[in-house]
Amino acid sequence: MQAKSAGHQNRGLDPIDIHVAMRVRERRIELGITQPKLAAELGITFQNLYKYEKAKIRISAGRLYRLSKALDVPVAFFFEGLAGPI
């Protein structure tokens, strides 16, 4: 049996990643933008956008920046409402 490398361990979902994902979804819905439309604007598949919004895959810094532009909010918007120290 092979041991997993440290980079491949399942550590669970990070609460910050979940919060950011929820903020992306909330803002998209608030603006009345569909997943396919936003995904097309970002140059990704709507399946990947779905995964971002469900925190199944992490949103990179570059993607978060592009999301902030597409959703017309500052990057800090996605972190607003986090409770306690990080």
pLDDT at residue number 24: 98
Mean pLDDT of 53-72: 97
For the chain, the farthest-separated pair of C-alpha atoms sits apart, in whole angstroms, at 50
Q: Which residues of 17-45 are buried (b: 16+ CB within 10 A; e: fewer)?
A: eebbbebbbebbeeeeeebeebbeebeee
**Is residue 5 in some structural domain?**
no
Predicted model pTM: 0.82
**Is residue 48 in some structural domain?**
yes
pLDDT at residue number 10: 42
| Segments forming the whole domain that contains residue 74 | 13-78
**Is residue 72 in some structural domain?**
yes
**Is residue 85 in some structural domain?**
no
Report the distance separating Cα 65 and Cα 79, nearest Å.
13
pLDDT, one tens digit per residue, over 4-39 is 444 444 457 899 999 999 999 999 999 999 999 999
| CATH number, position 33 | 1.10.260.40
For 48, other C-beta atoms within 10 Å of its C-beta total 15
Closest CA to 58 of 6, 19, 9, 4: 19
Number of domains in the chain: 1
